[in-house]
Chain A
């Protein structure tokens, strides 16, 4: 566990010591803030519903920028070989990198709490729904990061990793929207895999084990595949 936390801390530090965090986070905040605050005062409700509503789509564009370098950069600069020769397992490397990227997401989300406090000062906010929404955002964002990490383990090119992540997350996001057009036999599976529909349930204010376990399962599978991808160097 200590190794994982050390790797995670180092990864998080690397984000904040480079321009990545200072480009991605402000850009995300600028766009999400504009989309939310251009509507909220017109609607006149003390609710973060619109903010939660745009998050699944915005994450698709912003989180690949954070995850693309995780393993692809290590592979390109060959530092992955160095990292693997150290007394850490593949799982520890992957989990450490996952936690580092998750830290960036948490920092971005923590800054959006200002929106909640602003609305709370102007009306009665349902903090239960807000808390559930943020738990949902962490689970959703964690899933995007795990997918990004998996894609990053497949290639040494950051742009390729980013495009693969974008393609997978966009497909999973869009899948739920396209269910009516799917063949009947395929529809339930596609709908269950849809990232958005589970998040909609959570952002209503209800934490359901079915939704939470769905996200945790997807994160687990993606991290497992990333570990398998790292492990493949032994038999390739």
Chain B
């Protein structure tokens, strides 16, 4: 065969092999498998989602509208979107019809269908060689159930795609939204101001104001969960009675309370940043909470494990301040769904909580679980406290860890059992001696209370600074509404896994031990290996000489022998390498 035909054959053969590999990759792209190695199975449909779709009362249609040539930064999302939709259908036992529709630029039929399902194209910026252009692309999910159509916006991330899909399905299947009430009338933030972010994320619920001023109005019967967030004034006795009655009906309350609050004193500070003074925050809820099993302390918990938080300076600009009054809480309960999947909370001037009794009162049937605890490097500050963000406060002798959150669960005894029903009216100062109940009235069914000793961390200013703060609020509401199906999915997303607090010296050591220590360790191993090889070579050279001397009786001059023995190992090495290669 001529050289030319041989080379042509080789080129043809190579082309055939490469073509087959390309074809194989194209087939594999259609039929694929995934192995999710993440600890929480972030990219695998959870048992809760499977249960949800298997229990669908009617057929549901999901359509994914995706433009094929998306830029790389959104391509991953599109890929996971399409894969996950097909996974949902596969696990639904025929209750979900899923379809991935590729909307090409010139495919008018697909575009019309997208419009029918209320999916609008989005603008995606493209960086060209000479100019920046905007591409109109389709990247959305449409759900059809009964006569309803819902759309998942393309702003979702790969991380929370499953939660978004499952919560959309649950919302569509539910006939009516549950109501979450937020108390007002005592200086609390409202769903319109201060809790606007929380309201936005609690979209599976209808969030409403519950005005408890002077306890004039009862808490509506259709409220499923009551949130008491950051009251700064005393509750009227009648308002407490309403809350007690609410709890006795088996519904849940979440208290996010501050034992101390910081206030800016009035006065002219001549352009200086005004100081903040802490004062005890008395809301009148304290005796009722103590009756249920938890006592809120009038203190501020500080921790060496903290993170910088933005504070507004005198010139109106936000500055990042690292202060022990902003502790990072990593000791979170793994027993309760609320905190089970959370990694850390970022709190703002929290107070401490104390358990009244042993928390396992078999008589009352109430069980207490610690949700969050500060580190052993924390301390509490009581009494007068002047907050200056630029100064680190002195550590006190009252050291932690301190409890910062509790879950109480069981058949609570009523705070007003055996006592006269209070009348509505302005709050009165506490009586010197509270009347003792003559008989115990218990809730007919089990109820749930969440108490967290910080009201700021769920409010707009801080809620989104740390993803787990938001999850703590959403999980608490779901748990109190006794709807825990989505808690595991919501918290499944890859949240940050914080490093524990370490001293600067430890961090510097760890850093340089890794940067320099690891390469030096490798070089040291190399040196040991080189020395061992050199001595082995020396030994074998000596053996050779010894053999040579035995086979040749004539004496070898001393000088020559020593020269041979001391021959540079480099040459020997080369020679041996050459031998090895030839062999």
- A residues in contact (CB < 8 Å) with B: 10, 14, 16-17, 21-22, 25-27, 29-30, 33-34, 36-38, 40-41, 44-47, 79, 82, 111-112, 114-115, 118-119, 122-129, 131-132, 176-177, 179-181, 184, 187-188, 191-192, 194, 197, 200-201, 204-210, 213-214, 217, 220-221, 224-225, 228, 231-232, 234-236
Contacts and interface: CB of A to CB of B under 8 A. Distances in A.
Contact of A205 (B37, B72, B497, B529): B37
Given A29-B519, A236-B3, A201 B76 contact: yes
Contact of A208 (B34, B71, B502, B521): B34
Nearest to B13: A228
B19 to A, nearest CB: 11
Q: Is the interface of A mostly helix, strand, loop or mixed?
A: helix
Given A126-B497, A210-B25, 12 more contacts: A122-B502, A123-B500, A126-B38, A128-B37, A128-B38, A176-B72, A177-B72, A184-B69, A187-B69, A192-B25, A208-B34, A228-B10
Interface of B: 3, 6-7, 10, 13-14, 17-18, 21, 24-25, 28-29, 32-39, 42-43, 68-69, 71-72, 75-76, 126-129, 158, 307, 343, 494, 496-500, 502, 507, 510-511, 513-523, 526, 529, 533, 573, 577, 580-582
Given A26-B523, A207-B34, A221-B17, A34 B515 contact: yes
Contact of A206 (B38, B126, B515): B38
**Across the A-B interface, the 4 shortest Cβ-Cβ residue pairs:** A235-B6, A128-B37, A26-B519, A205-B38
18 contacts: A21-B526, A30-B516, A37-B511, A41-B510, A45-B497, A111-B518, A122-B500, A128-B38, A184-B69, A204-B158, A206-B35, A209-B32, A209-B33, A210-B29, A217-B21, A217-B25, A234-B6, A235-B10
B511 A179 contact: no
A47 B496 CA distance: 8
Contacts of B533: 17
A21 B17 CA distance: 34
B514 A37 contact: yes
Given A176-B72, A181-B128, A123 B10 contact: no
A36 B518 CA distance: 13
Contacts of B510: 37, 41, 118, 122
A236 B76 CA distance: 46
Contacts of B494: 126
Contacts, number: 176
B78 to A, nearest CB: 12
Contacts of A21: 526
B502 A25 contact: no
A228 B13 CA distance: 9
Contacts of B518: 29, 33, 111-112, 114-115
Nearest to B35: A207
A137 B34 CA distance: 18
Given A37-B511, A45-B498, A25 B35 contact: no
Nearest to B496: A45
A111 B583 CA distance: 32
A64 B149 CA distance: 55
Given A30-B515, A45-B496, A45-B497, A180 B128 contact: yes
A86 to B, nearest CB: 9
A191 B72 contact: yes
Given A21-B526, A45-B498, A235 B7 contact: yes
B39 A126 contact: yes
Given A25-B522, A119-B499, A126-B38, A16 B43 contact: no
A204 B33 CA distance: 16
